[in-house]
Amino acid sequence: MPVAGAAALAYSATVSTVLEYPETELAETDYHAFNLALWDRLVDDPVLAALDFRVETDRHGQMIMSPPPAPSHGHRQSEIAYLLRSLLPQGRVITECALSTRLGVKVIDVAWCSADVWDRLGGRSCFREAPEICIEVVSPRNTRSELDEKRALYFEEGAAEVWICDRDGVIRFFHADGMETCERSARLPDFPGRVG
């Protein structure tokens, strides 16, 4: 096993002790406070920072690690980010945006938020409300139920739109007023339905 993999296994065995009572009680009463306390500790952890894994958490504060995505995933992320920045320059484009949800901290592949949202939340390690546009780039290991769950969580936290970019670069647009796929973004109708 590679050193990074062994370190990840050793580290994951201790993650449940990152928070202790009374912070652990926040999981039942204020999931945002619980998630933010946990995420601040994880972000500041030098052992975790040295690992080449993507990290999210579940609602119990346990880490969920996955290997880094393939180059095609990163390419689609950067294409989407470039187009968002070009077509909506008055806001902020964020890659790997951490968002507190009732099921833990989820990391949005690409997000766009208005200046107002950025001013309120941009200085934190984790957003407490969803950016207006949240985009997931599908990886081979993503399941449909995982993507459906993330889409629902992003809408629960206030997203106006959620886009899913599939493995072929085709983008499905979802609006907060309905869970059906739309032909285009309401906020950005000129955004293409496919990226390279």
Residue 103 structure tokens: 């099921």
What is the sign, positive or negative, of the torsion defined by CA atoms of 91, 125, 64, 33?
negative
pLDDT tens per residue across span 13-48: 444 547 777 788 888 889 999 999 999 999 998 988
Best CA proximity match to 153, nearest among 97, 105, 96: 105
CA of residue 159 relative to chain centroid, distance: 12
CATH topology of domain 71-182: tt1808, chain A (3.90.1570)
pLDDT tens per residue across span 47-89: 888 888 889 999 999 999 988 888 999 999 999 999 999 999 9
Q: What is the pTM of this model?
A: 0.88
Q: What is the pLDDT of residue 145?
A: 96
Residue 177's CB is within 10 A of a number of other CB atoms, namely 10
pLDDT tens per residue across span 109-122: 999 999 999 999 98
Amino acid at 17: T
Q: What is the pLDDT of residue 97?
A: 97
DSSP 112: E
In the chain, domain spans: 3-66, 71-182
Q: What is the pLDDT of residue 13?
A: 41
